[in-house]
Amino acid sequence: SSNQMWGGRFAAGPDAIMEAINASIGFDKRMATQDIAGSRAHAAMLAAQGIITPSDADAIREGLLTVLSEIEAGTFQFSTALEDIHMNVEARLSEVIGEPAGRLHTARSRNDQVATDFKLWVRDQLDAVEGGLLALMRALLGQAEAGADWVMPGFTHLQTAQPVTWGHHMMAYVEMFARDLSRVRDARKRMNECPLGAAALAGTGFPIDRHMTAEALGFDRPSANSLDAVSDRDFALEFLGLASISAIHLSRMAEELVIWSSAQFRFVTLSDRFSTGSSIMPQKKNPDAAELIRAKIGRIMGANVALMTVMKGLPLAYSKDMQEDKEQVFDAADNWMLALAAMEGMVRDMTANRPVLEAAAASGFSTATDLADWLVRELNLPFRTAHHVTGSLVALAEKKGCDLPDLSLDDMTAVHDGITEAVYDVLGVHNSVASRQSYGGTSPVRVREQIARWKDILG
Ligand code: ARG
């Protein structure tokens, strides 16, 4: 038999394969809440504009709440023959309230309906992500506060560069996730225009009030062009784009945790709650959560590329290609949220191994730059000369198998006769970090200022 929603011109129902490729109910049932909210707003508006009667609107709005409670209770029978969430909800509404249900679809189309539902869903998701990012930032802030002045090696090329503070490193991540948060808020604002009432593509001849539905659904305004309203999936692309950038941040941090928790580094100890064991090697404690977070960028960026590829070249207005948008966004959203939560838990639970960090900070000639700077400041050498002199001292220390502070004053003066005992002050890692007080620098003074600033912002 033909489709009860659109089958008027059809003599035969769809082939099973047609039904299988066409149906989206398997995944778009996740938008049930948004679909029902949109329909309730639409029905109220239709009545307010005298397009349907108030009693029909009341029956529709009440009936939709019944349908919602069935979905929430898990008793709702989803039907593949009814294709998607929109027609599943409407068909059930018609069983529950009868004839008035058929008036709900006046002055709208599934094209503006799905755009509205999906936007509402993405918007809700951005709000949830905001919470996840804030929680992670607070966990990082806690770590930064505990070790604002602990020294550790700072790296470039993953080779020892200069000592930095643990607090400074934690706060670097806070800055990264803060940019993610700002992108989330920015995208939410830009997408907050309501497509409902664009109808199929051209608007409608019914005297609808799009400002009323937009306001009822928490949008800032109705979208201004009906063709654009049903064609636009920028909000989904932007969601995937900013999710990808955030997943890159998460993966970089995860990579550092994998390295830092290794037996060779031992910079941090991950909690048992966020580690796993090996079924063969009894000594193992693996950073699986960090590895999986590191990997999430693969599927999130994959979703981003997938939807961009689906959208490219599509003519206006709606094409069924666009039904491929939801699974990508749902999968990316789930995995982004999970990665944020897992990272937050790991950060909250992990222990920084202060003595190990300090010892590592002092090795690898990490204060060579401080020595060169001292030669400039105290002996008035040109920086290039100071760089060369320091390089010779590093080579000497390397030959002797010791660190820079272990060289005797005789060793030093043999390389440059102006060097005095005072040089040893700048070779210590604590003095090194304390000296870097330029704005944004690693000095504990500056780090504590940043921690205070962020505590203020995050409350
Ligand atoms: N399930 C569809 C989607 O997700 C809803 C819109 C269908 N519109 C249409 N004209 N067939 O895109």
pLDDT for 400: 95
Q: In the prediction, which pLDDT does 364 show?
A: 87
pLDDT of residue 1: 61
Distance 201 CA to ligand 1 centre (A): 13
- Which residue lies with its CA nearest to atom 3 of ligand 1? 323
Atom of ligand 1 at shortest range from CA of 24 = 1
**Ligand 1 within 6 A of 113 CB?**
no
Question: Which residue's CA is the closest to the ligand 1 atom numbered 2?
Answer: 323
Q: Which of 35, 108, 110 to mutate to test the pocket of ligand 1 (most atoms within 8 A of CB)?
A: 110
> Low-confidence residues of the chain, pLDDT below 50?
none
**Is 359 in contact with 344 (CB distance < 8 Å)?**
no
- Dihedral over alpha carbons 398, 400, 402, 405 (to 10 degrees): -90
Atom of ligand 1 nearest to the CA of 118: 4
Ligand 1 closest atom vs CA 326: 4
Separation between Cα atoms, residue 258 and residue 254, nearest integer Å: 6
| pLDDT for residue 13 | 86
The β-bridge partners of 160 are: 155
The length of the chain is 459
pLDDT at residue 279 in the model: 81
Residue 110 in contact with ligand 1 by CB distance below 6 A = yes
Q: Would you say the CB of residue 111 lies under 6 angstroms from ligand 1? A: yes
ipTM for the predicted complex: 0.97
Q: Which pair of structure tokens corresponds to residue 250?
A: 């998460």
DSSP letters, 363-430, are SSSTTHHHHHHHHHHHH---HHHHHHHHHHHHHHHHHHT--GGGS-HHHHHHH-TT--TTHHHHHSHH
Among protein residues, the one with the nearest Cα to ligand 1's atom 1 is 84
**How many Cα atoms are found within 13 Å in the side-chain-facing hemisphere of 179?**
13
For residue 185, how far is its CA from the centre of ligand 1 (angstroms)?
28
The Cα diameter of the chain in Å comes to 101
State the distance from the centre of ligand 1 to the C-alpha of 323, rounded, in angstroms. Answer: 6
Q: Which residues are catalytic?
A: 157, 278
Ligand 1: residue whose CA is nearest its atom 11: 320
Ligand 1 mean position, distance from CA 322 (Å): 8
Which atom from ligand 1 is nearest to the alpha carbon of 84? 1
Q: Quick check: CB of 117 below 6 Å from ligand 1?
A: no
Q: Name 1's Cβ contacts closer than 8 Å, sequence gap at least 6.
A: 7, 13
Please give the distance, rounded to the nearest whole angstrom, from the Cα atom of residue 115 to the centre of ligand 1: 9
Tell me the best of 5, 84, 122, 321 to mutate to test the pocket of ligand 1, counting ligand atoms within 8 Å of each CB and taking the most: 84
- Specify whether the CB–CB gap between 409 and 421 falls below 8 A: yes
* Beta carbon of 114 within 6 Å of any ligand 1 atom: yes
If 0-12 CB within 10 Å is exposed, 13-18 middle and 19+ buried, where does residue 363 land? exposed
- Going from the C-alpha of 161 to that of each of 156, 168, 361, 362, 389, the distances in angstroms are 6, 15, 9, 11, 18
